[in-house]
Amino acid sequence: MAAGFTYQNGSLHCDEVSLADVVAQVGTPLYVYSGASIRAAFAALDGALSASRHTLHYALKANSTLALLRLIRGLGAHADANSGGEIQVARRAGFEPAEIVFTGVGKTVDELDLAVGLGVKAINIESDGEAARIDRLAQARGLRARVALRVNPDIDPNTHAHISTGQRFNKFGVPIEHAPALLREMARRPGLEPVGLHVHLGSQLVEMAPLIRAAHALAGLARAAREMGVPLQHLDLGGGLGIAYGGEAAPDPVHYANAIAPIVAATGLDLLLEPGRYLVGPAGVLVGCIADLKRYPGSPRFMVLDTGMTELIRPALYQAFHRIGAVTPRAGDDHVYEVVGPLCETSDTLGHQRRFGPVEVGDPIAIFDAGAYGIVMASNYNRRRQPAEVLIDDGRWQIIRQRQSYDDLMAREV
Ligand SMILES: Cc1ncc(COP(=O)(O)O)c(C=O)c1O
């Protein structure tokens, strides 16, 4: 069986199910996910790391729809949560506290207390102040909180500036040269048990060299910590493994694993990774319908969809490229279109200068590789309802999140 999204008999299918059929029953905008694609990506990365002691903590921020979390947990993944809400949804999906790492800049006292009370596997500390707050909360409960220190190694990952997180001018973590002093201080605090180090350079990384440098930096710091009498248990190298959105070279999981796992193995510590996009990005498409087609002298041909930045903000937010194609392409002359959404923002453009054969209003159009950072960033701007989501698995499809109703939109207003 072909996993993921393929054209069969001239029409787009997901794991052998016709998307045109699903769209006819559920309507658009609609996210469709391939269970087989998620399973294949997990197996590829987990398999590539099989020679080393490792745990994959799926980064919920990429997509935290409950049915997908249950599927991913079933594969053996643990969780990386980035907010109190993500801890709650992880728990609802069945992740045990000991399977959750809690990351995030600007965690509130309530969120920290939730994590301390649950006894998560590690809270990734972002600052001296946060260390002090966790210590106080843990002592108030008579507990020792397991904590890891998030280090900012000042390494340029060569990705888009908005998703780069490990340089000195980024808000994340503590500068690596300050880390030994803070680790010593953490070890001294009765409410803290330092268990690891954490780094996350950014997302959609396609070069190995920055990841290798970061792994060496963390391994060196772990050795220094041991010499200081602060033995640790794990090194968490974050997420970031990129995918091929448009034919560019994307890292191969075996290459990635071979590059970083030996560096961590040499320290004797466990390796944690927090993949998000790699597991779910290619496993999802956003399907919209053509709402209008127009062309006037001196202007481009516009293909206006019934979906846009409210469902998928990546193109508007960081000029992200997504392949776009008709669900059931017609034969005939093709034309170049600006593929735009219905929102009253010029940045609501999903694709520039895309070539399509004959199209008509009402045709379903698929935006590919939309499984990560799609639905999780959806908004109600222009009072639009958030879309339905469908999971196709084992040759069957089911709605895993209903489209919002207009009542949902106004439910909490007086
Ligand atoms: C701390 C942390 N871990 C993991 C991830 C997941 O990254 P990705 O989806 O690129 O694998 C992110 C996202 O940027 C993150 O901030």
Give the nearest ligand 1 atom to 202 CA. Answer: 14
Residue 315 — pLDDT band, cuts 50, 70, 90?
very high
Distance 241 CA to ligand 1 centre (A): 9
- Check residue 154 and give its pLDDT: 80
- Check residue 164 and give its pLDDT: 67
Sign of CA dihedral 44, 49, 55, 60: negative
Instruction: Report d(CA 191, CA 297) in Å as an integer.
Output: 70
Give the nearest ligand 1 atom to 204 CA. Answer: 10
Give the nearest ligand 1 atom to 203 CA. Answer: 10
> Ligand 1, atom 5: nearest CA belongs to which residue?
239
Whether 362 shows a pLDDT value over 80: the answer reads: yes
Residues 6+ apart with CB under 8 A from 47: 253
Whether 245 shows a pLDDT value over 60: the answer reads: yes
Could you confirm whether 14 is annotated as catalytic?
no
- Check residue 242 and give its pLDDT: 93
327-337 residue pLDDT tens: 999 999 999 99
CA-CA-CA-CA dihedral for 66, 71, 75, 76, to nearest 10 = 20
> Which residue, 308, 314, 307, 241, is CA-closest to 276?
241
Determine contact, residues 327/18, Cβ cutoff 8 Å.
Answer: no
- Check residue 412 and give its pLDDT: 96
Q: Which residues pair with 349 in a beta bridge?
A: 340
Residues in the chain: 414
- Check residue 163 and give its pLDDT: 66
> Which residue, 405, 312, 319, 404, is CA-closest to 366?
312
User: In the chain, how long is the greatest CA-to-CA distance?
Assistant: 74
The pocket around ligand 1, CB under 6 angstroms, is made up of 59, 61-62, 80, 103, 165, 200, 203-204, 238-241, 274-278, 372
Sign of CA dihedral 303, 309, 372, 198: positive
Instruction: Report d(CA 189, CA 139) in Å as an integer.
Output: 9
**Residue 397, both tokens:** 């499809």
Query: Per-residue pLDDT averaged across 358-372, rounded?
Result: 98
- Check residue 157 and give its pLDDT: 67
Please state which of the ranges 50-54, 97-101, 154-158, 306-310 shows the lowest mean pLDDT: 154-158
148-206 residue pLDDT tens: 999 998 887 677 777 666 777 777 889 999 999 999 999 999 999 999 999 998 888 88
Among 125, 197, 198, 203, say which to mutate for ligand 1: greatest number of ligand atoms within 8 Å of CB: 203
Question: Which comes out higher in pLDDT, residue 325 or 2?
Answer: 325
- Cβ of 100: how many Cβ atoms within 10 Å? 24
Task: Report the chain's mean pLDDT, rounded to a whole number.
Answer: 95
Q: Please state at what angle helix 128-140 crosses helix 109-118, rounded to 10 degrees.
A: 50
Residue 135 — pLDDT band, cuts 50, 70, 90?
very high
Distance 203 CA to ligand 1 centre (A): 6
- Check residue 369 and give its pLDDT: 97
CA distances to 48, 89, 97, 122, 401 from 375, rounded to whole Å, are 29, 15, 25, 27, 11
Distance 151 CA to ligand 1 centre (A): 14
Distance 77 CA to ligand 1 centre (A): 15
- Check residue 172 and give its pLDDT: 80
Whether 1 shows a pLDDT value over 60: the answer reads: no
Q: Which of 1, 249, 344, 411 is catalytic?
A: 344
Distance 103 CA to ligand 1 centre (A): 10
- Check residue 352 and give its pLDDT: 97
> Ligand 1, atom 12: nearest CA belongs to which residue?
239
Helical H segments across 75-163, by residue range: 84-92, 109-118, 128-140
Instruction: Report d(CA 365, CA 29) in Å as an integer.
Output: 10
The overall pTM is greater than 0.85: yes
